């Protein structure tokens, strides 16, 4: 029997990660922040790489190929922000690829398509000189005016065709970097990117750029039509940011108290920015598909996490089938690196992906009991359930009574959304539950929304479009007759970022939802990530117990073990 072929992908920009393929299938993957416990952590990849090796029970010598990607440089194999594990294995082959190519391969590798178009839109990709050094044959796809540019320019958006084996570049747009200054709107991104624009507005509204998703959560509270100027314009098929819009906004947030006093103002700004992004994304992709039509579209890059724009894109019927990459931001670069190694470098056939996006390791009963046996944890009395049905019925009963549950099951999700493996769960309709979780468990702003997790076959009953949305990456509208029952998971404007729960890779969560449905009459649960503000999603049983202790969570479920306060 032949030994398995392992390909390791590693992303070294912010939101670093590592992914291991075994014979073309993902066997393990992890984001570095889950291990270092530093939000958006990147740089040296030892933690994430070692996690993958340990989870699979192999060593570096067992790996056939490593593919890596960093944003602004080509990393040294032995040293990158500290000594690297690869320094010990001199004959291990390591290949470098560019930023947008990594995003694109992460999408095609996990998509259901054997052939498709691929769109990548983000804040900033690889610099032009690095891109050409890595892929000299693709110089022909870069316009002469960009090639002659004397300032630093970086990837802004890229469009590809995937033929079932390899990606072919069709169009690439580059932009100058935004000038660094003390200006309110200074950015570490390209000057004309959708992602950069969104991050700028987020900084204006909240005072930080690390959590731009908050802007999407604030936008439903705003009103359309307050501002009548445009942020973007298209020239010769390329997208540009108008600088004039910055002159319209002169009241940046001065902290959370100031934000709350001026809430309506900032909500209207967020609404305007969100609508600008929706129009820009649609126009950009329409332009590319008009030149290179295809019925299947993959979409990746940080901007592809905008669930509202994604829904508009799907509703536009711009393509028959659209796959939104669940780990569309830089945490997905390692995925793309690994698939590039398998498909492009080793020239191996694409292996169909089962739709799963949970690539973390599973913790054994012994590992969980070791945590409970620590002296500081002996104050908690745990109960072990030996029958899965008994466990889910018990938890469903508690949820129906209004208890909050930390739900820790199997291997963790890869990407920004908790999908029922590392989740906080609660009743979707009990009065004030949303405020309680924001205030006493998540310790975050009270306007922040929560997602409804719904049984896949029931989504059309509760939501207008009834979209299939297994990765919580599309919004829908809650039907009017269910607004009261789903008040904790419906935004101010009636929208909801829905997760349809798949039995094929989330069977225990389906069982819990089914049990809750039988007891409550509602096939929906409030689902949010198992963390608090500023904290990466928990990875280990000990971290879950620590979070349980520091918050107002009522119940912690670690696999088949239950503890209660």
Q: Which of 345, 378, 412 is the last residue of a domain?
A: 345
The torsion angles phi and psi of 13, rounded to 5 degrees, stand at: -80, -165
Token pair 């002469």 is found at 144
- Going by pLDDT thresholds of 50, 70 and 90, the confidence category of residue 477 is very high
Q: What pLDDT digit, counting tens, does each position of 339-394 carry?
A: 999 999 999 999 999 999 999 999 999 999 999 999 999 999 999 999 999 999 99
Q: Are residues 440 and 494 in the same domain?
A: yes
Distance (Å, rounded) from C-alpha 180 to C-alpha 199? 14
Whether pLDDT at 210 is above 60: no
Q: Are residues 256 and 176 in the same domain?
A: yes
- Going by pLDDT thresholds of 50, 70 and 90, the confidence category of residue 181 is low
Q: Are residues 506 and 389 in the same domain?
A: yes
Q: What is the pLDDT of residue 141?
A: 83
Q: What is the pLDDT of residue 79?
A: 96
Whether pLDDT at 495 is above 70: yes
Q: Which domain holds residue 32?
A: 6-100+334-345
Encoded tokens for 411: 């291997």
**How many CB atoms sit inside 10 A of residue 465's CB?**
16
**209 domain-assigned:** yes
**352 domain-assigned:** no
**How many CB atoms sit inside 10 A of residue 63's CB?**
23
CB 322, CB 467: distance < 8 Å: no
pTM of the model: 0.96
How would you classify the pairing of strands 6-11 and 63-69? parallel
Q: Are residues 492 and 416 in the same domain?
A: yes
Whether pLDDT at 305 is above 80: yes
Whether pLDDT at 209 is above 60: no
Whether pLDDT at 49 is above 60: yes
Q: Are residues 372 and 416 in the same domain?
A: yes
User: What mean pLDDT comes out for the span 209-223?
Assistant: 85
Distance (Å, rounded) from C-alpha 448 to C-alpha 124? 27
Q: Are residues 240 and 119 in the same domain?
A: yes
Q: What is the pLDDT of residue 420?
A: 98
How would you classify the pairing of strands 524-529 and 422-426? antiparallel
Q: Are residues 46 and 117 in the same domain?
A: no
What CATH number does the domain containing 86 carry? 3.30.420.40
Of the ranges 123-127, 139-143, 188-192, 450-454, the best mean pLDDT one: 450-454
Q: Which of 300, 315, 345 is the last residue of a domain?
A: 345
**494 domain-assigned:** yes
**425 domain-assigned:** yes
**355 domain-assigned:** no
Q: Are residues 405 and 551 in the same domain?
A: yes
Which residue from 450, 544, 548, 540 is spatially nearest to 491, judged by alpha carbons? 450
Which residue from 384, 389, 512 is spatially nearest to 454, judged by alpha carbons? 512
Q: Which of 292, 324, 356 is the last residue of a domain?
A: 324
Share of the chain above pLDDT 70, in %: 98
Q: Are residues 279 and 392 in the same domain?
A: no
What CATH number does the domain containing 541 carry? 3.90.870.20
Q: Are residues 16 and 70 in the same domain?
A: yes
Into how many domains does the chain fold? 3
Neighbouring-strand partners of residue 454 = 500, 524
CB 83, CB 97: distance < 8 Å: no
Q: Are residues 233 and 136 in the same domain?
A: yes
Whether pLDDT at 62 is above 60: yes
Write the CB contacts of 561 (distance below 8 Å, at least 6 apart in sequence): 365, 368, 369, 372, 382, 383, 384, 385
DSSP 487-537: GGGS-TTSEEEEEEEPTTT-HHHHHHHHHHHHHHS--EEEEEESS-TT-PP
Of the ranges 144-158, 166-180, 460-474, the best mean pLDDT one: 460-474
Q: What pLDDT digit, counting tens, does each position of 104-161 carry?
A: 999 999 999 999 999 999 989 999 999 999 999 988 888 888 888 888 899 999 999 9
User: What mean pLDDT comes out for the span 289-307?
Assistant: 97
**106 domain-assigned:** no
Token pair 């912690």 is found at 556
**187 domain-assigned:** yes
**263 domain-assigned:** yes
Q: Are residues 172 and 78 in the same domain?
A: no
């Amino acid at each position: 029997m032949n030994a398995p072929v392992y390909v390791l992908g590693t992303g070294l920009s912010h939101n670093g990660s590592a992914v291991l393929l075994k014979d073309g299938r993902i066997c393990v993957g992890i984001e570095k922040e889950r291990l270092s416990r530093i939000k958006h952590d990147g740089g040296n990849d030892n933690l994430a790489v070692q996690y993958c090796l340990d989870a699979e029970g192999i060593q570096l010598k067992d790996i056939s190929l490593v593919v890596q990607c960093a944003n602004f440089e080509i990393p040294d194999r032995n040293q990158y922000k500290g000594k690297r594990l690869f320094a010990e294995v001199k004959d291990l082959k390591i290949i470098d690829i560019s930023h947008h190519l990594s995003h694109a391969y992460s999408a095609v590798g996990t998509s259901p398509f054997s052939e498709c178009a691929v769109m990548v839109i983000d804040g900033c990709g690889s610099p032009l000189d690095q891109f050409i050094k890595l892929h000299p044959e693709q110089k022909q796809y870069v316009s002469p005016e960009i090639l002659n540019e004397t300032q630093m320019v970086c990837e802004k958006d890229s469009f590809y065709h995937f033929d079932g084996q390899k990606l072919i570049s069709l169009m690439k747009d580059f932009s100058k970097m935004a000038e660094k200054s003390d200006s309110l709107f200074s950015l570490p991104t390209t000057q004309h990117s959708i992602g950069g624009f969104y991050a700028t507005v987020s900084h204006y509204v909240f005072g930080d750029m690390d959590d731009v998703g908050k802007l999407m959560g604030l936008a439903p509270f705003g009103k359309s039509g307050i501002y009548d100027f445009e942020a973007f314009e298209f020239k010769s098929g390329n997208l540009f940011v108008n600088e004039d819009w910055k002159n319209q906004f002169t009241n940046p947030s001065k902290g959370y108290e100031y934000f709350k006093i001026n809430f309506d103002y900032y909500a209207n700004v967020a609404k305007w920015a969100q609508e600008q992004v929706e129009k820009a994304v649609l126009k950009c992709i329409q332009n590319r598909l008009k030149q290179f039509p295809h019925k299947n579209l993959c979409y990746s890059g940080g901007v592809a996490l905008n669930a509202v724009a994604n829904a508009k894109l799907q509703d536009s019927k711009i393509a028959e089938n659209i796959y939104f990459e669940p780990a569309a931001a830089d945490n997905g670069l390692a995925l793309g690196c690994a698939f590039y190694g398998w498909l492009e470098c080793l020239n191996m056939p694409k292996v169909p992906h089962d739709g799963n996006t949970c690539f973390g390791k599973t913790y054994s009963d012994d590992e969980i009991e070791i945590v409970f046996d620590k002296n500081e944890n002996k104050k908690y009395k745990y109960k072990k359930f030996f029958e899965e049905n008994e466990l889910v019925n018990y938890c469903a009963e508690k949820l129906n009574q209004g208890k909050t549950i930390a739900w820790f099951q199997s291997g963790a999700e890869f990407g920004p959304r908790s999908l029922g493996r590392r989740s906080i769960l609660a009743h979707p309709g009990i009065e004030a539950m949303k405020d309680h979780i924001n205030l006493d468990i998540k310790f975050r702003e009270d306007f922040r929304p929560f997602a409804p997790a719904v049984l896949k076959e029931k989504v059309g009953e509760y939501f207008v479009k009834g979209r299939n949305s297994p990765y919580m990456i599309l919004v829908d509208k809650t039907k009017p007759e269910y607004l009261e029952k789903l008040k904790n998971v419906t935004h101010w404007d009636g929208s909801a970022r829905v997760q349809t729960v798949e039995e094929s890779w989330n069977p225990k969560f389906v069982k819990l939802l089914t049990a809750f449905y039988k007891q409550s009459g509602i096939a929906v649960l409030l689902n949010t990530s198992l963390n608090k503000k500023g904290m990466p999603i928990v990875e280990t049983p000990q971290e879950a117990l620590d979070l349980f202790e520091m918050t107002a969570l009522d119940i912690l479920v670690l696999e088949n073990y239950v503890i209660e306060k």
